Copies of this chain bind each other. A is one copy, B any other.
Amino acid sequence: MEAQKSVDLYIEFLRTRRSIRKYRNEPVPLDLILKVLDVARYAPSARNIQPWEFIVVTDSVVKNRLAEVYPWPQPIRGAPVGIVVICDSKSSPNTYQQDCANSINYIMLAAHAYGLGTVWQGILRDEERLQVQRILNIPSEKVPIAIIAVGWPAEKPEPRSRKPLEEIVYINSYGNRVK
């Protein structure tokens, strides 16, 4: 009974994470951010190489410069903290994108556990990458792949629509749908 309750809690926990773009005007202690990043260390990575590094951005001048990399308004501008996730493309050339996505999932879920809201802003274009590397003095072989805005949620968004399960699941062969 107790065990079933934990299962339900964990599933509910996974299902209730949302992207949060509005934050209360309230600081987030650095200690709490470090607790979140401590959990991110446990994300899986190919051959356990852990090709990730994290830059915690709390300085508002630096935050605003990061926000200006993009032509559209960035949640990080109004967030007390940003976390830039950097990946070593040399140590994990084939898997660094996936490995670092794993660490980002763990960051967002650990933050969710502590009641913090986050949103993932991808660093996708070469020009964005170069600008972020310049702003944060990141060596050229380390690839910044995302800026995670972090703060105490000031909104409670409904879940966004999801494709129905029967549309995306097959059994034993592509196209063979679940009855």
Question: A: which residues have CB within 8 A of B?
Answer: 6-7, 9-11, 13-15, 17, 19, 30, 34-35, 37-39, 41-44, 46, 48, 50, 52-59, 62, 86, 94-95, 97-102, 104-106, 108-110, 112-115, 120, 122, 124, 136-139, 142, 145, 159-163, 165, 168-175, 178
Contact = CB atoms under 8 A, between A and B. Distances in A.
B162 A124 contact: no
A77 to B, nearest CB: 16
B106 A124 contact: no
Contacts of A59: 172
A56 B171 CA distance: 5
B122 A160 contact: no
A19 B46 CA distance: 11
Contacts of A120: 44
Nearest to A115: B7
Contact of A39 (B15, B55, B97): B15
A101 B108 CA distance: 14
Nearest to A110: B14
B175 A137 contact: yes
Given A7-B115, A41-B165, A55-B172, 11 more contacts: A10-B10, A10-B13, A11-B110, A14-B42, A38-B165, A53-B168, A58-B172, A62-B172, A101-B105, A136-B173, A136-B174
